[in-house]
Amino acid sequence: MADALTRDAAQALAPPRGDDARRERFWRALCERAVLIFALICMVFVLISPQDRHLIPVRLAFCLCPTAVIALAAALQSRFPSSWLLWALRYCACLIFLPFFFRLTGQIAPFFPLGHFDDSIMALDRLLLGDPHASLRFQEAWPHPLIGELMCLSYFAYYLFVPVYAVHLIVTRLKQHAGPSADVAWYTACCALAYMLHYLAFFLFPVEGPAFHLAGGVARDPGYAMSALHHLVVSNGDVPGGGFPSSHVSIALLHVFIAARFGWRRLCVAAAAATAAICAATVYTQAHYAADALGGLASGALVWLLLTGIENARRRDAWRTGTLGAAQQ
């Protein structure tokens, strides 16, 4: 009995083998290649955009940073393959530059003559809710500071998803064997692909959002400390153009599916509750139209279906070549 327990513990701490190793390489390579392709697309957009031409060299340099960091992390990791910190750096390198790309979506408009598409989204709000200004009515109907404070707190819940999930996976997966982890590679690929697909939508279909398009700028919402913090962060970090679909709602919903996939029941319930609150908060704070939030739910589900389809295709290919069956024997 003791020998069996010792053997099971050793297997739990062992590096990934068989299909796990192939799965790790597949998702890591997919993520890194997707980042490279997205960086190249952004470089093209920077070159053809008519705004701030004098900033082109700086923006092109930033577009190359993710690939440079990934290459550096890969070089260091090859020399120190047992360092879980370097593996974590290599995985997270695909994510740490995403805020720059988000700001880039609001700073350049590669298809500037088309302008923003807020009127189209407001028409959709009219169709769904009977009022093109429905996004403004929510806060007008519930101006109490406590409600505003709760909405701002819910809005900030979005920023906890990636750090909480990433740290949990790194601690429970990556540090177990101080080497590559298929689950961490899959998670970082999920996040990177989801964000990049949304950023492409922001480039191609820019929507300013109610705060910029209707209210003339980001105003402080009713509330106290969280309202002040929300105004500070959004007024300095938000950009017009990233309205549809709501990446806040989409990424939150995606993490509900991820928690369900890993069997994290409590976290799944918490993520589902946070997603519902974020849907309301994004509209209440006038960061998004109601149609943006609904679009975020749809895009989150579509991204999950895409990721599931990629994984199923990978597994079918592994079965076809006989590698998966051999790994499980």
Domain count, the chain: 1
pLDDT reported for residue 291? 92
Residue 95 CB: number of other CB atoms within 10 A? 18
pLDDT at 243 (0 to 100)? 82
User: Count of residues for the chain?
Assistant: 329
Nearest to 29 by CA among 188, 208, 136: 188
pLDDT 10s per residue in the chain (329 long)?
Answer: 334 333 433 333 344 455 678 888 899 889 888 888 998 998 888 888 877 888 888 888 888 888 888 888 888 877 877 777 777 888 888 888 888 888 888 777 766 666 778 888 999 888 888 888 888 888 888 888 888 889 989 998 899 998 899 888 888 876 666 667 888 889 999 999 999 999 999 888 888 888 877 766 666 778 778 888 877 887 777 777 788 899 999 999 999 999 999 989 999 999 999 999 999 999 988 888 999 999 999 999 999 999 999 988 888 887 777 655 444 44
How confident is the model at residue 4, as a pLDDT? Answer: 39
Task: Write the DSSP string, 283-313.
Answer: HHTTSS-HHHHHHHHHHHHHHHHHHHHHHHH
What span, in angstroms and rounded, lies between the C-alpha atoms of 147 and 299?
A: 28
Measured distance CA(260)–CA(158) in Å, rounded:
18
pLDDT for 175: 65
Q: DSSP per residue over 76-117, as a string? A: HHHHSTT-HHHHHHHHHTTTTTHHHHHHHHHH--TTGGG---
Q: Which amino acid type is present at position 93?
A: A
DSSP 3-state percent helix, strand, coil across the chain (nearest 5): 80, 0, 20
Query: Tokens in use for 173?
Result: 């997966």
Task: Give whole-number Cα distances, 203 to 97, 177, 183, 269, 318, in Å.
Answer: 17, 41, 30, 33, 36
How many Cβ atoms are within 10 Å of 232's Cβ, its own excluded?
Answer: 12
3-state SS of 238-291? CCCEECCCCHHHHHHHHHHHHHHHHCCHHHHHHHHHHHHHHHHHHHHCCCCCHH
Domain that holds residue 95: 2-328
Whether residue 57 is preceded by a cis peptide bond, meaning omega within 30 degrees of 0, is no
